[in-house]
Amino acid sequence: ETGVTQSPTHLIKTRGQQVTLRCSSQSGHNTVSWYQQALGQGPQFIFQYYREEENGRGNFPPRFSGLQFPNYSSELNVNALELDDSALYLCASSYDIANTEAFFGQGTRLTVV
């Protein structure tokens, strides 16, 4: 148990729709990062939030956006879903920006049809 929970665990959406994925971090973790993991690949960094502000972003288009809230919860929003967005989405929280030890949730499996 990492203390990081994600919801929902599975989701099916239609191409063109929008989706919101949620993450609840450990209390005291000021940093949350989101990753996309395609089948058979390692996780790819989407972005990081530190104290409710975006701190860094990977190579993902603007239709991927996020929010972090004061209660250690966060959201990943994806607009205009494409078939290639089908993946496992992981959030990871840590005490600080340096990611000395990141705690991952179990992920949300998103399928776009």
The answer to whether the CB of 3 falls within 8 A of the CB of 102 is no
**Any contact of residue 109 with another protein (CB under 8 A)?**
yes
Tell me which amino acid residue 15 is: R
Does residue number 48 form part of the binding site for another protein (CB under 8 A)?
yes
Distance in Å, CB of 56 to another protein, minimum:
4
Neighbour tally for 100: CB within 10 Å? 8
* CB nearer to another protein: pick between 43 and 66: 43
Residue type, 73: S
| Cβ proximity to another protein, 42 vs 62, nearer residue | 42
Kindly tell me which residue out of 42, 53, 71, 83 binds another protein, with binding defined by CB under 8 A: 42
Instruction: Count the neighbouring beta carbons within 10 Å of the beta carbon of residue 20.
Output: 13
Query: Counting runs of H as helices and runs of E as strands, what totals does the chain give?
Result: 0, 11
Handedness of CA 44, 45, 46, 52 (dihedral sign): positive
53 is a contact residue toward another protein (CB under 8 A): no
The piece of 11-19, 45-53, 67-75, 76-84 that touches another protein (CB under 8 A) is 45-53
Binding site for another protein (CB under 8 A): 2, 4, 31, 33, 35, 40-45, 48, 50, 55-56, 58, 88, 90, 92, 97-107, 109
